[in-house]
Structure 1
Amino acid sequence: MTNFLYMDVLNTIQNLREELNLHNYNYYVLDNATISDYEFDVKLKQLQDLENANPEFFDANSPTQRVGGAVTKNFQTVAHTHRMYSLDNSYSKEDLLDWENRIQKVLGNVDLQYTCELKYDGASISITYEKGKLVRAVTRGDGFQGDDVTTNVKTIRSIPLHLKGDNYPEKFDIRGEIILPFAGFEKMNQELIEIGETPYSNPRNTASGSLKLQDSALVAKRPLECLLYFVTGEKLPFTSQFDGLIAARNWGFKVPNEAKVANNLQEVFDFIDFWDTHRHDLPYETDGVVVKVNNLHYQEELGYTAKSPRWAMAYKFKSEQVATELESITYQVGRTGSITPVANLKAVQLAGTIVKRASLHNADQIKKLDIRVGDTVFVEKGGEIIPKIIAVDLTKRPENSVPTEYITHCPECQTELIRNEGEANHYCPNFYGCPPQIIGRIQHYISRKAMDIEGLGGETVALLYNNGLVHNYADLYELKVEDILPLERMAQKSAENLVNGVGNSKKIPFESVLFALGIRFVGETVAKKLAKHYKNIDALSQASLMDLVLVDEIGERIAKSVIDFFENAENRIIIERLKQYGVQFEVIEKVNLNATTILSGKTFVVSGVFTQFSRDELKKAIEDNGGKVGSSISAKTDYVVAGDNMGPAKLEKASKLNIPIISEIDFMAMLNPN
């Protein structure tokens, strides 16, 4: 090919890509088609032919890639550069007033603006762009890491593959919700009904499931959209949440126009009241309003709790309610032995889903509502997610109705139930002999946030237990392919994947292993704190009640549960077996050649905007040199590192406590005293 012809083909390809990207943007983002579907398809086919004939011009972000076709057998787990937090929920305007009071205690009595956005009910996604190009899309997962679903996300036409303009950061993440509009959902269901298939239950679950389809061509056929709501990264070209939304819209993202700046909480309430009545006019599901402090600097000052940003709050609209008949009550046994009564209901439509069951919580709740089999009950979805019974229609109670007698023995192993003083739930004490508890503990052990064992799911765990192959999670490491093959639905490849997945779990870090053990009250956050403090399982197992209580954020209830766990002889035997199999029971410290102990024993609070460091870099420098980063100023704080625009409340508190306030230059001098 001559150089002239080479450049001519390349220019034609690039021009077609730009034109098709513009048509995609007009149609899927602006809802303003400027070309017919037929004309678009003709141009797309022309581009495909040129790309196929000239593979050297391949571009992963070409419009032709949106049709899908790539197959992903296993979705790779990827760590989020910036953690994806969940939101705290509020259900009343009083909750929002309390939230504002907490904010003002941190910031001082500053003038606050809020950005109000509708809370869309979809699948959360984080999309990374570098130099204006889409490079990765990752599901929320556990907030720290998620599944790489880039191939599938690229098929969603409202997501730009190339950004418009040139004022975007070199690299950033943008967060949004993958949603399925009502019209598209209904069309999909109608097509299923016509061929005699079962329709999908609701738009949210269908959107979420779409992201994990192995064939991206199937994803491309679904009318998914992505609504973007937050940009995170370094050196962002705006200083407020609302300006960030405007910037994202200008870069080509589909950002809902309903968002609005409120100058006070009354304007927030007005926004809530309007959309509480008009939300049913929207083309997609929404279950509330997200209220965010608009100023990004204030957001940094407020920071995060272990789970949520302090600068944002979700206001949930009042749940829908329906009446239906309670047909029976059954009882479930959890992995800790906790008994949960379940209401089996006459099927009823509620908030877009068919509801057949609801939690009754505990014996006290049943007694308080005087719930009986045969009653007509009112059901709602708590936070639009978990169905629950909120009241009984006594006017419709049958004449032969009898009060509900809570069970006295375990429905699975017939052991007499116990109820500890001060606790609401009944428990089955047969910890090592009750099948649902044993299966539940193993299912917890293999779960995503714990040992993350690929090739092994909850149903397979039950199958292994019921066939006598495992009796605790240590037995997993003795499984062989030939043991598994005779089981139902187990082929050679499935058995090999299971055994390999168990073997790979030996690389899982200690904090995840500690969570996987299933110690009562030891969740993810507590497991991380204990692992960081004790460094290994032996030190933790020998800790006294007082030692444990002195660990940051570890209370007496957690401490006693840890001690009880290690005092149990069977638990100790299982841990020794896991050690022999090579499971990680100590923290593997990352070697930092620049680390020192010069700040050892000192606690720092970081506040303000800095020029030499980002806030995260500053915090890392403190920890790398032996110091501790505090989330708030207290008598235990040794220094406050203050940048520009330090919050007045922090300044006042530091002054009252006579805590030294130093600049980032002073801090750098501390690291280099010579």
Structure 2
Amino acid sequence: MTHQDITAKLADLREQLDQHNYRYYVLDDPSITDAGYDRLFAELQALEAEYPQLITPESPTQRVGAKPMGGFAEVAHELPMLSLDNAFNDDDLAAFMRRVEERLDQSPVDFACEPKLDGIAISLIYEQGLLVLGATRGDGYTGENITGNVRTIRSVPLKLHGENIPERLEVRGEIYMPRAGFDALNQASIERGEKTFVNPRNAAAGSLRQLDPQITASRPLEFCAYSTGILSGGELPEGHVQTLEQLQRWGIRINAEMRLVSGLQGCLDYYTQLAEKRQTLPYDIDGIVFKVNQRQQQQQLGFVSRAPRWAIARKFPAQEEITRLNAVEFQVGRTGAITPVARLEPVFVGGVTVSNATLHNMDEIKRLGVMSGDYVMVRRAGDVIPKIVSVVMEKRQKENRNPDDIELSEIHLPEHCPVCGSDIERSLLNKHRKATDSQSFGTVYRCVGRLACRAQVKQSILHFVSRRAMDIEGLGDKNAEQLVERGLVKSPADLYQLTSEQLLQLDGFATLSSENLYQAIQSSKSVTLERFIYALGIPEVGEETARVLAQSLGSLNRIREALPQLLVFLRDIGQEVAAEIYNFMQDSHNQDVMDALLAAGVSLKASGEVAVGLRGNITFSDLLSHLAIRGVGPTSAKALAAFFDNPEQLFNTDAARLAQVPGLNSKAQQGVAECLKDSDWLDKARTLYQQLQDFGLYAGSEAAQVAAENSAESSSENVQKNAQPLAGETWVLTGTLEVMTRDEAKDQLLALGAKVSGSVSGKTACVVAGPGAGSKLTKAEQLGVKVIDEATFLTLVESLK
């Protein structure tokens, strides 16, 4: 055979095998027996073994062949893989449909309906039709590169076929294990005397995380696409169903149960049909996903937080079992919250053995009327979290109880913290209405011991040192527990007083490990303000809220002083979160810890300035709208602001003068007059007004004017000296950074005001490219976007500080 003949024969065999894979896995319509397929595969293997120089990465024989990996590299998703909101009943689904129709001003709306496979979400990237990356969802923003393992799954095409395939295409879907394959896998494990998997989802997850792709290849895994992500150099149909059908034509498997329906009734009918069919399906599903079909409508609806407004997962009723509640224990969390935990007689529910369940709070215990010793209905809520949903009242009757049952006893909240013995207090809720601010009791009880409570100290330390907080490597659960138990650490500030000699005394530590931990602690002293705020562990304050506080107010002092009424002016901060932030900052224990951290040398990298978009942005009428004046809404607030020159003039007015305000009705006049007679209200209003001025947030305030003048006087040569010199710019990080991690580089850019994106476009200001940079670097070069290496980036960052 000539070289040309051999090449043609190889191409023909690969094409035949690809077509048979497509018919088997995508169309579910095989045209060859398994034995026939095996003969073709063996022929290809033999020919490639004779001519190894002609082997291509997309050949069917190359699904397994990589050496075991040393670990999984992180992958930043160019478009976040968002989670979905859940509907647990028809009312939830109806409310979702109502919101969609109102926002689109259309009824009915067409929806794509798909079974929600109980597997692992995966992102596949195809370039020029070839599979180049497989990554887990991770936290939605960063996953793990498991390309080698994904390539072993036969229902994942290594090469797309057909026409008009985009230059770059991201396919998102679920990797799962069919029930038959799961049963066979467990049976084989039993025969070998090995541990079995609890359910197909756990088996799929464990199989994908094998460092040896050959182990993954031996597991019966399947892939099914449910959406697309990034796209370049091509087009997709406007409809979601039509897009998935196009993926199928290119060789990608989709779910045969997918349907296109219209309106709420169509979705309800589909749910009923699939619920009846659920047990006969060859794979596990835990619900149905409903998505607005038209992409233009999806874009119009947009997103909220980490979920799209145009999709929802309608969960199936969770699996339930009856078991006995043996006892209730009270655990203390990081913020001091006292949580009742039910200790159950172990029971198998929804694929796992459950021995503990949440009771949430004392109000839930009262609502359920549950007692220790009761028989209870346990549900895995959303097929995930064990929860007690009801008491089996018949089992309270003496004739229905077993001889070995424990006596029934009421459940009482302990008077003192079960860990430190401090008092327990009930949380307060702050409510803001047009008429007045008010407080009421919340459902959470907290230990007041704060950092005197070992449970809170330990959890606070673990949160403080975590990767997205101060990022102190080597200080895990056991080490933190030792430090607390031995009295070496009573607050996060004590970490910075530790010596390597003290660390050497800990179990499991040698000279090198103690020195490494000591250096890691010392290196963490220089940190961005937003990371520091997050590290403090303020209740209800996550990474995004910490970033909003840092970028909006610019300094720790302002955040420590900010009134809750001022905080609600900031993006995405409501009354409850504002109250939590203010109460935390005013607590003397927390103030002492923050002072001690700063005294220990913790240095905060912050702008020092209020965000440009907030300076002088709060008007007189905005202030009035936030002062809880009965009868005063936005319209009345504008009328008052137009009549009085400033808030102080209003604070000193009388009823006769109020009657002269054009457009102010009698109810609003009376509401203002009542407030002006209330000395407490006046004090709070004046204090808020003064702080808005001091921070430069109030329109026309001296601080805002100074900031504006400074900004106007700044020449182009001085721009880099501003607090956020990269404000308004979009940057992209790609490749491997050697001096710092991507998270650290991202933090640097965010602190300088830049937005960090996962994709390159014509609007990208700059790309930082490290070794291994791929398609993003190529696209940047094609678009003429500025590209710099890590060394140049570090020099630039240093010059902008």
TM-score (norm 2): 0.67
Q: 2:462 aligns with which of 437, 440, 443?
A: 443
Match of 1:563 in 2: 582
Match of 1:606 in 2: none
Shift of 1:309: 0.7
Match of 2:354 in 1: 355
Match of 2:122 in 1: 125
| Percent identity over paired residues | 37
Q: 1:591 aligns with which of 695, 708, 726?
A: 726
Q: Give matches, 1:190-269, under 5 Å.
A: 190-234=187-231, 236-269=235-268
Given the alignment of the two structures, is residue 552 of structure 1 paired with residue 571 of structure 2, yes or no? Answer: yes
Partner SS for 1:425 = strand
Partner SS for 1:261 = strand
Given the alignment of the two structures, is residue 342 of structure 1 paired with residue 341 of structure 2, yes or no? Answer: yes
Q: 1:407 aligns with which of 407, 414, 417?
A: 414
Quick one: distance in 1 between partners of 2:265 and 2:572? 36
Assess, with a 3 A threshold, how the Cα gap between structure 1 residues 123 and 497 changes in structure 2: closer, same or farther.
farther
Quick one: distance in 1 between partners of 2:237 and 2:247? 11
Aligned-partner residue type, residue 152 of structure 2: T
Report if aligned partners of 1:112, 1:263 keep a CA contact under 8 Å in 2.
yes
Of 262-271 and 418-427, deviating more is 418-427
Match of 2:141 in 1: 144
Of 293-302 and 511-520, deviating more is 511-520
Given the alignment of the two structures, is residue 426 of structure 1 paired with residue 561 of structure 2, yes or no? Answer: no
Shift of 1:263: 1.9
Match of 1:613 in 2: none
Match of 2:373 in 1: 374
Match of 2:166 in 1: 169
Partner SS for 1:185 = helix
Q: Cα deviations across residues 177-202 of structure 1 (Å, max 9, x unaligned)?
A: 12121122222222222333332222
Which structure carries more relative contact order (alpha carbon 8 Å, separation 6+)? 1
Of 255-264 and 173-182, deviating more is 173-182
Match of 1:666 in 2: none
Partner SS for 2:360 = coil
Given the alignment of the two structures, is residue 417 of structure 1 paired with residue 448 of structure 2, yes or no? Answer: no
Aligned-partner residue type, residue 183 of structure 2: E
Shift of 1:293: 0.9
Match of 1:605 in 2: none
Match of 2:278 in 1: 279
Quick one: distance in 2 between partners of 1:594 and 1:483? 46
Match of 2:309 in 1: 310
Shift of 1:298: 0.5
Of 373-382 and 25-34, deviating more is 25-34
Match of 1:633 in 2: none
Quick one: distance in 1 between partners of 2:8 and 2:457? 64
Quick one: distance in 2 between partners of 1:119 and 1:397? 39
Quick one: distance in 1 between partners of 2:279 and 2:28? 20
Shift of 1:397: 1.9
Shift of 1:408: 1.8
Aligned-partner residue type, residue 383 of structure 1: G
Report if aligned partners of 1:137, 1:149 keep a CA contact under 8 Å in 2.
yes
Assess, with a 3 A threshold, how the Cα gap between structure 1 residues 250 and 324 changes in structure 2: closer, same or farther.
same
Shift of 1:272: 0.6
Q: Cα deviations across residues 634-671 of structure 1 (Å, max 9, x unaligned)?
A: xxxxxxxxxxxxxxxxxxxxxxxxxxxxxxxxxxxxxx
Quick one: distance in 1 between partners of 2:152 and 2:519? 32
Of 445-454 and 113-122, deviating more is 445-454
Quick one: distance in 1 between partners of 2:497 and 2:54? 51
Q: Cα deviations across residues 48-99 of structure 1 (Å, max 9, x unaligned)?
A: 5665676655644433332254333332222211111111111222222222
Quick one: distance in 2 between partners of 1:35 and 1:578? 73
Report if aligned partners of 1:505, 1:583 keep a CA contact under 8 Å in 2.
no
Match of 2:94 in 1: 97
Partner SS for 2:112 = strand
Shift of 1:401: 2.2
Quick one: distance in 2 between partners of 1:461 and 1:64? 49
Quick one: distance in 2 between partners of 1:545 and 1:486? 45
Report if aligned partners of 2:321, 2:378 keep a CA contact under 8 Å in 1.
yes
Aligned-partner residue type, residue 562 of structure 1: I
Aligned-partner residue type, residue 560 of structure 1: A
Partner SS for 2:444 = coil
Q: Cα deviations across residues 451-476 of structure 1 (Å, max 9, x unaligned)?
A: 66666654554455446665555666
Match of 1:515 in 2: 534
Aligned-partner residue type, residue 368 of structure 1: R
Shift of 1:113: 0.8
Report if aligned partners of 1:167, 1:237 keep a CA contact under 8 Å in 2.
no
Report if aligned partners of 1:333, 1:436 keep a CA contact under 8 Å in 2.
yes
Aligned-partner residue type, residue 160 of structure 1: P
Of 50-59 and 385-394, deviating more is 50-59
Report if aligned partners of 1:78, 1:138 keep a CA contact under 8 Å in 2.
yes
Q: Count how many residue pairs are aligned between Structure 1 and Structure 2.
A: 600
Assess, with a 3 A threshold, how the Cα gap between structure 1 residues 532 and 585 changes in structure 2: closer, same or farther.
closer
Assess, with a 3 A threshold, how the Cα gap between structure 1 residues 459 and 589 changes in structure 2: closer, same or farther.
farther
Report if aligned partners of 1:533, 1:551 keep a CA contact under 8 Å in 2.
yes
Partner SS for 1:426 = strand
Assess, with a 3 A threshold, how the Cα gap between structure 1 residues 593 and 289 changes in structure 2: closer, same or farther.
closer
CA RMSD, Structure 1 to Structure 2 (Å): 3.7
Assess, with a 3 A threshold, how the Cα gap between structure 1 residues 478 and 313 changes in structure 2: closer, same or farther.
same
Match of 1:634 in 2: none
Quick one: distance in 1 between partners of 2:92 and 2:582? 37
Report if aligned partners of 2:21, 2:154 keep a CA contact under 8 Å in 1.
yes
Quick one: distance in 2 between partners of 1:281 and 1:236? 37
Match of 1:651 in 2: none
Shift of 1:398: 6.3
Match of 1:667 in 2: none
Aligned-partner residue type, residue 62 of structure 1: S
Aligned-partner residue type, residue 226 of structure 1: F
Aligned-partner residue type, residue 139 of structure 2: D
Of 440-449 and 214-223, deviating more is 440-449
Assess, with a 3 A threshold, how the Cα gap between structure 1 residues 574 and 188 changes in structure 2: closer, same or farther.
farther
Assess, with a 3 A threshold, how the Cα gap between structure 1 residues 592 and 395 changes in structure 2: closer, same or farther.
closer
Structure 1 gaps, min length 5: 596-615, 625-674
Quick one: distance in 1 between partners of 2:54 and 2:473? 37
- Pick the structure with greater CA Rg: 2
Assess, with a 3 A threshold, how the Cα gap between structure 1 residues 539 and 151 changes in structure 2: closer, same or farther.
farther
Q: 1:74 aligns with which of 60, 71, 74?
A: 71
Report if aligned partners of 2:472, 2:524 keep a CA contact under 8 Å in 1.
yes
Quick one: distance in 2 between partners of 1:159 and 1:182? 19
Given the alignment of the two structures, is residue 19 of structure 1 paired with residue 16 of structure 2, yes or no? Answer: yes
Assess, with a 3 A threshold, how the Cα gap between structure 1 residues 112 and 26 changes in structure 2: closer, same or farther.
same
Given the alignment of the two structures, is residue 573 of structure 1 paired with residue 595 of structure 2, yes or no? Answer: yes
Aligned-partner residue type, residue 418 of structure 1: E
Report if aligned partners of 1:168, 1:237 keep a CA contact under 8 Å in 2.
no
Assess, with a 3 A threshold, how the Cα gap between structure 1 residues 492 and 40 changes in structure 2: closer, same or farther.
farther
Aligned-partner residue type, residue 82 of structure 2: Y
Shift of 1:259: 0.8
Quick one: distance in 2 between partners of 1:499 and 1:157? 49
Report if aligned partners of 1:541, 1:563 keep a CA contact under 8 Å in 2.
yes
Assess, with a 3 A threshold, how the Cα gap between structure 1 residues 620 and 384 changes in structure 2: closer, same or farther.
farther
Match of 2:113 in 1: 116
Match of 1:661 in 2: none
Match of 1:638 in 2: none
Report if aligned partners of 1:537, 1:586 keep a CA contact under 8 Å in 2.
no
Quick one: distance in 2 between partners of 1:12 and 1:495? 62
Assess, with a 3 A threshold, how the Cα gap between structure 1 residues 536 and 200 changes in structure 2: closer, same or farther.
farther
Partner SS for 1:570 = helix
Partner SS for 2:303 = coil
Shift of 1:169: 2.0
Shift of 1:175: 1.4
